Amino acid sequence: MAARALASVTVTFGMVSIPVKLYAATSPQAGISFNLLHAGCGSRLKQQYICAKEGVIVERADMVKGYEFAKDQYVTFTSEELKELEEKGTQMIEISEFVPAETIDPIYYDKAYFLGPDKGGAKPYALLAESMRQSGQTAVGRYAARGKQYIVQLRAVTGGIVMQQLLYAPEVRTIEDVGIETAPVRDTELALAKQLIAQISSKEFDPTQYQDEVRKRIEAAVQKKVEGEEIAISPSEPTAGAQVIDLMEALRASLEKTAGKRAPAKAATAEPAPAEIKGAQRKPPKKIAPEPETRRKVGKR
């Protein structure tokens, strides 16, 4: 099915203008969602807002937005005042600079959109995509929509251009806040870990190899419910506490477990094995029969 454009915009840099159309690159609605129902009669519930002070239901017409500048102290804004503060949409993606693709940490990535050429934009669109592809550069600029201003990255991909909405610097935390303890790593441990990585490495990421098993279980359970089947709850197993492990033994066991389970064409070239495991023979690949899908058991309330 042909993609439906969300908007028509113009990409600008210098004196060049490229008319493009904006398309959704992801499909969040593909997820499964549930509605809240009244357990007694099965009817859907309506959300209501209750005044914390008076305990009465407040209708939308009586609501105003407020900003808490101190504990329990607010300044309020009318809809007209908030509208005045919104960014005016220009239907323009204004490129500010070009930077190497690898200098943008993926942690800044937010939503992604496809850009496709609009009428009269095929030639400059192709020129921009190919020039970024060959130079290894990506474009960074600004885009205003829905009253907000976004920082965006335009990057060339196979077949076209992706507009990646980015987070602003204050929206991204630093890993220094985590407080990671420094730990020494021995050469033998590093060699085993690198061999394990090489043993289960692939030449490229293939998202089709990963399935949403939780979604599949929920869909199966929903179908059984629709057909009137009873589903029992399986007893929960106690959660095991953290265990202190021998790192070297865990690495060796992992290598033995994964040996031969990857097709040779997919595996990356492994580095020379350390002295402790030299001469070890890789087990030949063996076919693994797919496990039957685990049945989710849900109790009837």
CA dihedral 27→30→31→37, nearest 10 degrees, is 120
- The reply to whether 212 falls in a domain is no
In contact, 91 and 10? CB cutoff 8 Å: yes
- What is the model's pLDDT at position 291? 45
- The reply to whether 223 falls in a domain is no
- The reply to whether 259 falls in a domain is yes
What number of other Cβ atoms are within 10 A of residue 148's Cβ? 10
- The reply to whether 17 falls in a domain is yes
Percent share of the chain, pLDDT over 90: 41
191 with 122, same domain?
no
Which residue segment(s) compose the domain that 151 sits in? 7-27+88-170
- What is the model's pLDDT at position 271? 46
- What is the model's pLDDT at position 262? 58
Cα distance between residue 222 and residue 231, in whole Å: 10
197 with 128, same domain?
no
137 with 191, same domain?
no
68-94: average pLDDT? 90
> pLDDT for 250-281, tens place per residue?
777 887 887 756 544 444 444 444 444 444 44
Domain of 20: which CATH number? 2.40.290.10
- The reply to whether 47 falls in a domain is no
| Alpha-carbon torsion (78, 81, 83, 85), positive or negative | negative
95 with 146, same domain?
yes
136 with 258, same domain?
no
Scored b (16 or more CB within 10 A) or e, 247-270 reads eeeebbebbeeebeebeeeebeee
Q: Residue 5 corresponds to which amino acid?
A: A
Tokens for 99? Answer: 């930077």
166 with 192, same domain?
no
What is the chain's mean pLDDT, rounded? 82
97 with 126, same domain?
yes
109 with 194, same domain?
no
State residue 211 phi and psi, 5-degree precision: -115, 150
194 with 115, same domain?
no
266 with 145, same domain?
no
- The reply to whether 105 falls in a domain is yes
21 with 107, same domain?
yes
Report DSSP state, residue 290.
P
151 with 259, same domain?
no
- The reply to whether 224 falls in a domain is no
What pTM was computed for the model? 0.68
Report the first-to-last Cα separation within the chain, whole angstroms.
41
**Total domain count, the chain:** 2
| Inter-helix orientation angle 247-258/187-199, to 10° | 20
- What is the model's pLDDT at position 278? 41
Report DSSP state, residue 64.
-
Query: pLDDT band for position 242 (50/70/90)?
Result: low
- DSSP H/E element including 112: strand 109-117
- DSSP H/E element including 188: helix 187-199
State residue 34 phi and psi, 5-degree precision: -115, 150
Cα distance between residue 196 and residue 227, in whole Å: 47
* Of residues 175, 162, 56, the one with CA closest to residue 110: 162
- What is the model's pLDDT at position 128? 94
Tokens for 259? Answer: 């040996």
- The reply to whether 260 falls in a domain is yes
